[in-house]
Amino acid sequence: MKLDRVFFIFFILCVFVSGAAYGFFVHRNQIFPYATVTEAGHAFAAWAEVIDQSHPGSFRYIDETATAGPLTRTVDPGRGDELVLITGGPFEYLEVCPRFGCLAWIVDRDGRVVHSWEVDLDALWSDADHLQGRTDPMFYKPVGLHLLPDGGLIAAFMNSLAFPYGAGLARIDRDGNVVWRRYDHSHHWFTVDAAGTIYTPGHYWIEPPLRIGDTYATVECEGGRTLVDTIQVIDADGELVEVIPLFDMLVDQGYGALVQGTQERCDPLHLNHVEVVDAAGAALVDGLAAGDLIFSLRNVNAVGAIDRDRERISWLISGRTTRQHGPRLLGDGRVLIFDNMGGPLDIGGSAIVEARFGSQAADVVFPRSPLATDVPFLSSYGGQIDPHPGGQRVLVALTEQGAIKEVDLRSGRVTWEYVKTFPGVGYPGVAADDQDEVFVRVEAFGAYYLAPGAFPFRDMAAAEER
């Protein structure tokens, strides 16, 4: 009996060692069943990510420390008095928008809501069939916003639980009605020029490998499809005018090595911001013309500019920020950038970096000292900045923290903050017995300065009521 047991144990050990050796050989040489196991692993990871997803797309967590919300706080009396436009999301701020939540709202500096937009989520997304994955309307979240003179909004939407994540654009009137919508894979942050033309990130996908021009180099996405970035130009009526092939432009100008060194091989560039240069800015910055474009590529840590007349990259800086978002051009040629993961860790980990068009230099301008606030200066993803004219103050949306801060770049202090925490009453995924007791924290994708004169439709609405 002892010999039988020893033989059995020896047999099991041989099987284990042989299996481990073959597994190593399979992985090293990528022979059968490597592809099958890899695809199964990707499928399981995707399934595990979404199987427990019962909350809307912008949900972050149950905030066990909150007793009220949203929270508005003046940290320093030097803060501004402008109104602030805040990006919302599905089922956010149900006290103000009780049916679907607020797509966006405007607050004064005491947190009082001046105006809000509530949009029927089914009217936006119920018949969308251009994404795969979790496509319930509550998973589509607005990211970039633009306020129109008549009180309408342009909004770019993403769905992080679907493929691809770029969902499209919509124009909403001041009463929350859908004027037009585009299921075109627009996403992230865009800008609108004086004529109403929209410049937005977009993408399409190909089966891997992605070849880098006519070179031997490729980018191999294992178990998936590769996203290729473009810039879409759309007129005020929602019609596509032009597609700028950003990926091809980079490769054709010799930046192929930048692409090949990407951090994410299924999404090599990850274009997350496009800003159009206006005539006033172009007049003050040598090398820029009205209509040129500033862009951010998260997965290669690069920020650059496109000369629209020559259809060429006119400036590119790489490796001075880490997974950055939101480069914003100031009138004197400075470019403020939200550096997601390149800031001092003891203060949070994110930073605001100042570069200059045409230069390869970049310096951290905030934070410079510990913050007088209990919210870390960190967003490992997302993140948006809106400079005040003159560039001395900025609004910062810390997406991951669900917090908005106003920062004085001269003093290095936080002057005002707004935390997106809401009661759980009516919020999907919160147990009925808990809704009266808990608060939810949601993502903060944007905050924008609004001078009182930039809010004329408030007076238009009052006149119509009279």
The larger pLDDT score, comparing residue 148 to residue 78, is at: 148
Prediction pTM value:
0.87
Would you identify the CATH topology of the domain 62-465? Neuraminidase (2.120.10)
Residue 115: pLDDT band (50, 70, 90) is very high
Q: Which residue has the tokens 């299921």?
A: 183
Residue 240 phi/psi, 5-degree rounding, is -70, 130
Residue 29: pLDDT band (50, 70, 90) is very low
Task: Compute the residue count for the chain.
Answer: 466
**Distant-in-sequence, close-in-space partners of 402: CB < 8 Å, separation ≥ 6:** 60, 419, 420, 421, 441, 442, 443, 444
Q: Are strands 191-192 and 198-206 parallel, antiparallel or unpaired?
A: antiparallel
Asked whether the beta carbons of 379 and 398 are under 8 A apart, the reply is yes
CA distances to 92, 209, 264 from 78, rounded to whole Å, are 29, 53, 42
| CB-side neighbour CA atoms (13 Å) of 405 | 27
SS3 label, residue 20: helix
**Domain ranges, ordered by start, for the chain:** 62-465
Residues 150-176 as b or e (16 or more Cβ within 10 Å = b): ebbbbbbbbbbbbebbbbbbbbbbbeb
| Per-residue pLDDT tens over the stretch 306-364 | 999 999 999 999 999 999 999 999 988 999 999 999 998 888 999 999 999 999 999 99
Alpha carbons 406 and 372: distance in angstroms, whole number: 12
SS3 label, residue 182: strand
